[in-house]
Amino acid sequence: MLFMLKETWPTKSSVDVGKVAVQILSMPLPSYVKMYGPFVTLGGDGIKVYTVYDAEKGHEEEWHKELMKQQAEHFGIEGFKSSVEVVLSVQDALPLVGLSL
């Protein structure tokens, strides 16, 4: 199952967010998760980061809880916002409407 994490914050909070990110990224991922990213961009409202995690079947709930725990470490950082969406690949989504590649 794919989890798409989107994080945003104002540029003035970048050092604080960076400290938390270094801490989180220094810990190894569980063997049942693959990470793509993080991918960083600078926009008019500040910084945006996108990361996609692929959790193996049977570990989705466990990973979702761990991801939420990681996001809680950002609480208190001014302007920090995050959202997690469960997404499907095109290959997984097409059969839902009777199509395939």
Position 72 pLDDT exceeds 90? yes
- Please tell me the predicted confidence (pLDDT) of residue 44: 83
CA distances from 50 to 82, 94, 96 (A): 10, 24, 26
> Is pTM beyond 0.75 here?
yes
Write out the residue range of the structural domain in which residue 30 sits: 2-97
Number of domains in the chain: 1
Q: Which residues contact 74 (CB under 8 A, 6 or more apart)?
A: 7, 17, 20, 80, 82
Looking up residue 16, the CATH number of its domain turns out to be 3.30.70.260
- Decide if 33 contacts 53 (C-beta within 8 A): yes
Distance, in Å, from the CA atom of 13 to the CA atom of 62, rounded to the nearest integer, reads 30
Position 43 pLDDT exceeds 90? no
